[in-house]
Structure 1
Amino acid sequence: MPEKKLQVGFMKQVRTRKSEKVNKTIKALIIDLDGTLVDSTDSVIQMYNTVFADFGLEQPHENKVRALFGRTTREFINTLAPELPDDRKKAMFNALRTATIEVVPLIKKGELCGHIPKFAEKYKLAVVTNRGENSTNIILEKFDIRKYFDLVVSAVLHEPKPSPDMLFYVLKQFGISPEEAVFLGDRDVDAMAGARAGVRTLLVPLGKKAMDELLG
């Protein structure tokens, strides 16, 4: 099945399941970072504009950058600058790792951030992100929510989403089944990772009913 068709199918499935009641046996919430817990749109666009300019390249169109949200840095580079030789791609990757930290002040708190303390009273919490571990922890500390998470899992040591690898790791560490977790995300890669792991997935913005049931 073509990847695009696969993505649409998963997204439709996730959207239609939003109205289902949250299982009362849920023991853990697994939460994506960018676009779910925080709004990093401005920071990502600024980061790529700056680094591309530093490399003497035309700044990528904002829509192209937005279309890649949720993907790994290497996927960004290979899509936006496919003509770069491998050594330049490696140099750009390292430059972006540094720039990721520098643009953290541009990241804004998402709506879910305010609910994390309440969630922590009811569930085990984990962050799974295609972002690097260092910048992830800096962002969580910035909004004073790192202390609520039992696990922070990045793509540094695991296959990035849409692979279910990070979700499987969380389930194993928590000692729970897929049916005992809910995954909160915002992108196609989240929908696919959740479906492949067999974990109920809700995409933000969450409807009032789903939020009330998670909080209740």
Structure 2
Amino acid sequence: MPTRALVFDFDGTLADTESAVLQSWRELFREHGVELPMAAWYAVIGTQHTTPAMFALLAEHVPGIDPEALRPKSKARVFQLLEKLGPRDGVRSYLETAKDHGLKLAVASSSSGAWVNPHLERLGINGYFDAVLTGDLHKAKPDPDLYLAALDALGAEAADTIAFEDTPHGVTAAKAAGLTCVAVPNAITESLDFGQADVVLPSFTAKPLEALLTR
């Protein structure tokens, strides 16, 4: 069956923003004498609950802490770490190939539009996408709502569309919406279980997009 559309997760998939976010949380926890348990991070990665979950966990270890007072510093540190971040290796080649084949492209992210859109622009890849769907307007993953909204925005059918994800939560969302899903884990998520994915690639450079389009 020919592929007519591609839908990409943003954080950790198009760009490895998750490494910067994780580093900032680790630093914040250590400033308060606590190590961030990776199991807690993996439980929420790829969803909309990361920030409240991390602040709640820190508050459990440091009674009386004021999350709102820490929020501006935490946010500033993330943006400092992201200043020189580019797209993941091979992403731009995938996007160029997709456009050469006349495919429709969308982003489906649990993060907010205020986070995703400026980063897409800063990375210089916003112009590739026909639609950007975000978690401030749709139910976050692992709910399939973002992918269903992406299909609607592109005028595409699930059977004609491939999703690209870096977390099991994201894969669950894509499969629940009926899409073929290619998992491309990053350094943080590579040890997780991607058994639900149709294809698992170590990177976007491991296989050309054309090889996936002829699935």
Q: Verify: 1:174 aligned to 2:154, yes or no.
A: yes
In structure 1, what is the equivalent of residue 91 of structure 2? 113
Counterpart AA for 1:109 = P
Q: How many residues align?
A: 191
Contact 2:107 2:150 in 1 (8 A): no
TM-score in terms of structure 2 length: 0.72
Contact 2:26 2:36 in 1 (8 A): no
TM-score in terms of structure 1 length: 0.72
Contact 1:131 1:155 in 2 (8 A): yes
Q: Structure 1: 5+ residue runs without aligned partners?
A: 1-22
Relative to structure 1, is the Cα distance of residues 134 and 149 closer, same or farther in structure 2, using a 3 angstrom cutoff? same
Contact 1:130 1:160 in 2 (8 A): yes
Q: 1:125 aligns with which of 94, 105, 125?
A: 105
Contact 1:168 1:197 in 2 (8 A): yes
User: 1:210, 1:75 → 2: CA distance?
Assistant: 38
Over aligned residue pairs, what C-alpha RMSD do you find?
Answer: 3.1
Q: Verify: 1:135 aligned to 2:115, yes or no.
A: yes
Contact 1:45 1:62 in 2 (8 A): no
Counterpart AA for 2:17 = S
Offset of residue 81 of structure 1: 3.1
In structure 1, the residue corresponding to 2:83 is in which secondary structure? Answer: helix
Contact 2:104 2:129 in 1 (8 A): yes
Q: 2:133 aligns with which of 144, 149, 153?
A: 153
Relative to structure 1, is the Cα distance of residues 141 and 69 closer, same or farther in structure 2, using a 3 angstrom cutoff? same
Instruction: Determine which structure has the larger helix proportion and give its number.
Output: 1
In structure 2, what is the equivalent of residue 188 of structure 1? 168
Relative to structure 1, is the Cα distance of residues 32 and 199 closer, same or farther in structure 2, using a 3 angstrom cutoff? same
Offset of residue 107 of structure 1: 3.1
Q: 1:43 aligns with which of 20, 23, 34?
A: 20
User: 2:78, 2:108 → 1: CA distance?
Assistant: 17
Q: 1:71 aligns with which of 4, 24, 47?
A: 47
Q: Verify: 1:211 aligned to 2:209, yes or no.
A: yes
